């Protein structure tokens, strides 16, 4: 039982014994004692005055006396106004740490029986993954791992946007200027090659628009009537009608992109349980549109288009089918949601999508509720802010995005330069160094992005992320390597590390570390409820920082008392294990040495 729950239970017993009233658990507020006061945990007494009919100070003192007399685990207390600060005995902390140390599954919450689907990544097949996709992928992956640690069954899925006008733009540009170029002939990854043609299309499109404007057409009309855009629209119509040549080119170029995506996912350590393709799902939802028309919640316009009027709900009118009968994005999302909840009996469906789609998901849930689906409220939009760079925002059409593959390689090189400057890798061979540099580079990238609350827009600075000091991935990685070095030296000296010895008196810093370790399961639960792996990232940093302060002040291996030494080795070993578990949720590896 955690210390705060233990205190709540014992304080309830005290109130019942002292005042003859059994209060509900919600009446008891317990928090970690602030650093400027003596004590471990603090009971807020004010809610208890209704049964004590005494002053806050007198109530706190009476409860403190009862706890000290009737609870061996409480060694002392002090009262500050309406706050009762309790101090646990050394034996309590020793017993608590023994339980933590012996629990191989510490931090893993028991199975809930719930099934949760997390959809993330959702790339377009007209360009490679970029920095914005990296935040999406890292959030999706770490939220999935966090929910697994909360005891849920999690399905990680990807919906690839492999059809539409944007795909036809890349295809048309390749037909016009590609001269049969392939990833093999160019030496480029397939997603990069196709992305180059998407940029090329927009270059040609802008020139045509400028030419039409120069000949007297308004810019608005020119942007609608540029010949290359008309040709791309015709290509899309051919694709939808099943034209063999267009479909063959589409399959070939998409194949190039899928191969490129797979390489990037592999480099990031990302995988999926199932991948959906828009080309196979874009027609889903049409049956639901018919159902909505039959129910009278949708309406047909004279041009044949179908709409849902949400103005009475404070929203807008939403298009569900165009006049020519073709689907829009929300039509597909309605259909895929019904398909997935039916197929997997989901308890929750999480969509990891940027905050520019907040309105879309608000509309999606509302329409599903109107259609009578009780599970509509089990849809959760994990909305996240955009990633910006010191030099500003990225623009895909202008080819000014930060490419994911380039960034991964840049992080590797930055980790390599920073590590070599420290001059501590002389005993590592080239292959081991290479693994370390990649581990540090990815750790820096992942941690820097995940430590920010998902809802916030963030500024990504590669140099800042690789710093070996401060709230960074490499700082936590270095902490783990330092602990492993201590344990290797201890093993080399034949020092005992078998079990937590009885009778050891823990120092205040050691108690602080045990407190932090004990918080891990609660942080898992808190992060899962908030869908925020940032909570785990910052917990890992707090634990690593606290260890480093302890290490700086405590001569661990120079301790002559074998019982104290054994306890300290057990303590740092437990810290290393928890750091590994916490960072594994974030998809970050910790090195054994560096």
388: helix, strand or coil: strand
Residue 71, pLDDT > 80, answer yes
* Residue range 177-225, pLDDT digits in tens: 999 999 999 999 999 999 999 999 999 999 999 999 999 999 999 999 9
Shared domain for 441 and 335, answered yes or no, is no
What is the residue range of 47's domain? 3-88
Tell which of 388, 414, 429 closes a domain.
Answer: 388
Tokens at residue 101, please?
A: 């140390």
Domain containing residue 548: CATH number? 1.10.730.10
Residue 238: inside a domain: yes
351: helix, strand or coil: strand
Q: Which uninterrupted H or E stretch holds 337?
A: helix 329-344
Tokens at residue 489, please?
A: 């030296």
Shared domain for 379 and 424, answered yes or no, is no
Q: What is the per-residue pLDDT for 393?
A: 53
Shared domain for 383 and 423, answered yes or no, is no
Q: What is the CA radius of gyration of the chain?
A: 30
* Residue range 109-163, pLDDT digits in tens: 999 999 999 999 999 999 999 988 999 999 999 999 999 999 999 999 999 999 9
Task: Provide the whole-model pTM.
Answer: 0.91
Shared domain for 477 and 545, answered yes or no, is yes
* Residue range 342-390, pLDDT digits in tens: 999 999 999 999 999 999 999 999 999 999 999 999 999 999 998 887 7
pLDDT bucket at 423, cuts 50 / 70 / 90: confident
* Residue range 569-587, pLDDT digits in tens: 999 999 999 999 999 999 9
Shared domain for 409 and 324, answered yes or no, is no
Residue 322: inside a domain: yes
Shared domain for 80 and 26, answered yes or no, is yes
Q: What is the per-residue pLDDT for 399?
A: 46
Selection from 122, 129, 206, 204 nearest residue 170 by Cα: 204
Residue 593: inside a domain: no
Residue 169: inside a domain: yes
Q: What is the per-residue pLDDT for 498?
A: 65
Residue 394, pLDDT > 50, answer no
CA atoms of 490 and 360, how far apart (whole Å): 58
* Residue range 237-267, pLDDT digits in tens: 999 899 999 999 999 999 999 999 999 999 9
% of the chain with per-residue pLDDT over 70: 97
CA atoms of 501 and 566, how far apart (whole Å): 7
Residue 173: inside a domain: yes
Q: What is the per-residue pLDDT for 400?
A: 54
Residue 165: inside a domain: yes
Residue 396: inside a domain: no
Domains of the chain: total: 3
Q: What is the per-residue pLDDT for 451?
A: 96
């Amino acid at each position: 039982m955690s210390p705060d729950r233990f205190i709540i239970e014992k304080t309830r017993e005290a109130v019942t014994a002292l005042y003859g009233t059994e209060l509900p658990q919600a009446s008891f507020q317990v928090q970690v004692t602030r650093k400027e006061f003596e004590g471990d945990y603090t009971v807020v007494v004010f809610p208890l005055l209704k049964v004590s009919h005494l002053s806050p100070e007198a109530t706190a003192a009476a409860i403190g006396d009862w706890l000290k007399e009737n609870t061996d685990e409480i060694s002392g207390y002090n009262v500050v106004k309406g706050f009762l600060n309790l101090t646990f005995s050394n034996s309590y902390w020793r017993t608590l740490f023994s339980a933590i140390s012996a629990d191989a599954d510490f931090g893993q919450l028991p199975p809930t029986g719930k099934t949760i689907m997390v959809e993330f990544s959702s790339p377009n097949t007209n360009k490679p993954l970029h920095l914005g996709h990296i935040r999406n992928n890292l959030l999706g992956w770490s939220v999935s791992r966090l929910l697994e640690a909360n005891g849920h069954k999690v399905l990680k899925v990807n919906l690839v946007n492999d059809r539409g006008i944007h795909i036809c733009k890349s295809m048309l540009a390749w037909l016009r200027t590609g001269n049969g170029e392939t990833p093999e002939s160019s030496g480029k990854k397939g997603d990069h090659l196709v992305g180059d043609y998407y940029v090329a299309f927009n270059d040609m499109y802008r020139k045509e628009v400028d030419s039409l404007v120069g000949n007297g057409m308004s810019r608005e009309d020119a942007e609608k009537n540029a010949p290359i855009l008309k040709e791309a629209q015709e290509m899309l119509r051919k694709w939808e009608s099943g034209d063999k040549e267009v479909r063959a080119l589409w399959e070939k170029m998409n194949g190039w992109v899928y191969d490129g995506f797979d390489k990037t996912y592999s480099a990031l350590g990302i995988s999926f349980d199932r991948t959906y393709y828009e080309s196979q799902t874009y027609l889903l939802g049409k049956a639901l549109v018919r159902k909505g028309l039959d129910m009278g919640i949708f309406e047909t316009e004279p041009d044949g288009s179908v709409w849902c009027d949400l103005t009475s709900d404070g929203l807008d009118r939403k298009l569900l089918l165009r006049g020519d009968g073709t689907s829009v994005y929300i039509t597909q999302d309605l259909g895929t949601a019904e398909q997935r909840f039916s197929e997997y009996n989901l308890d929750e469906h999480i969509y990891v999508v940027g905050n520019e789609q907040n309105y879309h998901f608000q509309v999606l849930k509302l329409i599903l509720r109107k259609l009578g689906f009780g599970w509509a409220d089990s849809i959760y939009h994990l909305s996240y802010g955009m990633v910006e760079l010191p030099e500003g925002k990225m623009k895909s059409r202008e080819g000014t995005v930060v490419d994911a593959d380039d960034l991964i390689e840049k992080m590797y090189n930055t980790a390599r330069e920073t590590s070599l400057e420290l001059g501590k890798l002389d005993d590592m061979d080239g292959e081991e160094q290479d693994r370390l540099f990649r581990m540090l580079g990815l750790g820096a990238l992942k941690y820097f992005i995940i430590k920010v609350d998902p809802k916030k827009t963030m500024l990504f600075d590669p140099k800042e992320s690789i710093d070996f000091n401060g709230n960074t991935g490499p700082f936590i990685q270095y902490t783990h390597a330092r602990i492993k070095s201590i344990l290797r030296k201890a093993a080399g000296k034949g020092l005992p590390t078998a079990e937590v010895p009885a009778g050891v008196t823990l120092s205040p810093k050691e108690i602080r570390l045990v407190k932090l370790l004990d918080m891990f399961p609660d942080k898992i639960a808190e992060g899962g409820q908030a869908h925020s792996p940032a909570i785990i990232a910052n917990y890992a940093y707090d634990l690593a920082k606290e260890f480093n302060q302890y290490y700086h002040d405590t001569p661990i291996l120079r301790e002559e008392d074998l019982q104290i030494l054994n306890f300290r080795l057990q303590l740092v070993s437990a810290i290393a294990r928890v750091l590994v578990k916490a960072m594994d949720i974030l998809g970050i590896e910790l090195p054994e040495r560096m």
